[in-house]
């Protein structure tokens, strides 16, 4: 077995903190995009990372107008084991706040649908914290988009009520289908290796 990237000639080194793990750019439509840990001690093995970061550029090929949720499920958990708080604003009206203590996915952002302005994608950055700990997992997401002139800025916090390490992420569109050109990148965040 080869040494991980942070061991050079048998010496522990401080490498890049962000490690690119996976990237998907759709050339066709898809109802789900899945990322899975390799569990082999190499770069794609999530057990060595403190956090994960998901960067998404999303549009849906289905639906009418005014967008839909971008969501994720962890380790194939489709039960009501997620809790969230969301605050968003369109710039023309007061901020809107939503929360739920039991839902079936982590809400990461909002994305344009087929009926919204052509070729417009949302941009979302999601931080998943302490993914290998024995505590409930938490995440914070920021998202921005423009849906037919109705722009939206979004901030959400989610808790996955499980003590299991995150080893799979299924990106879903709350019943929508991801459009061609949708891109999702996954990064692992390494802990500090040297003092």
Looking at per-residue confidence, does 4 or 111 come out higher? 111
Angstrom distances, CA of residue 190 to CA of 6, 14, 20, 119, 124 = 9, 9, 11, 35, 21
**Confidence band (pLDDT; 50, 70, 90) for 91?**
confident
Contacts 24+ apart (CB under 8 A), 38-44: 39/167, 40/1, 41/1, 41/4, 42/2, 42/4, 43/4, 43/5, 43/19, 43/188
pLDDT digits (tens, 9 = 90+) for 109-156: 999 999 888 889 999 999 999 999 999 999 999 999 876 667 788 999
Q: 25: closest CA among 57, 65, 47?
A: 57
Domain assignments of the chain as residue spans, ordered by start: 17-189
pLDDT of 32 above 90: yes
pLDDT of 24 above 80: yes
pLDDT digits (tens, 9 = 90+) for 167-188: 999 999 988 999 999 999 999 9
Q: What pLDDT, on the 0 to 100 scale, is given for residue 19?
A: 92
Q: 121: closest CA among 151, 96, 162?
A: 151
Mean of the per-residue pLDDT values of the chain? 90
């Amino acid at each position: 077995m080869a040494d991980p990237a942070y061991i050079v000639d048998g010496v522990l080194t401080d490498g890049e903190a962000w490690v690119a793990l996976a990237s998907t750019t759709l050339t066709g439509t898809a109802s789900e995009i899945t990322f899975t840990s390799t569990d082999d001690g190499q770069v794609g093995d999530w057990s060595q990372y403190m956090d994960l970061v998901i960067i998404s550029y999303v549009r849906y090929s289905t639906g009418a107008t005014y967008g839909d949720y971008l969501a994720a499920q962890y380790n194939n958990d489709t039960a009501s084991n997620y809790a969230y708080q969301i605050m968003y604003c369109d710039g023309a009206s007061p901020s809107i706040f939503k929360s739920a203590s039991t839902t079936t996915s982590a809400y990461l952002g909002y994305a344009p649908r087929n009926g919204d302005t052509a070729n417009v994608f949302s941009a979302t950055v999601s931080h998943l914290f302490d993914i290998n700990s024995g505590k409930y997992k938490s995440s914070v997401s920021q998202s921005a988009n423009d849906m037919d002139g109705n722009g939206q800025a979004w901030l959400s916090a989610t808790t996955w009520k499980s003590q299991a390490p995150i080893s799979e992420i299924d990106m879903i569109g709350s019943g929508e289908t991801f459009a061609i050109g949708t891109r999702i990148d996954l990064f692992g965040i390494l802990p500090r290796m040297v003092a």
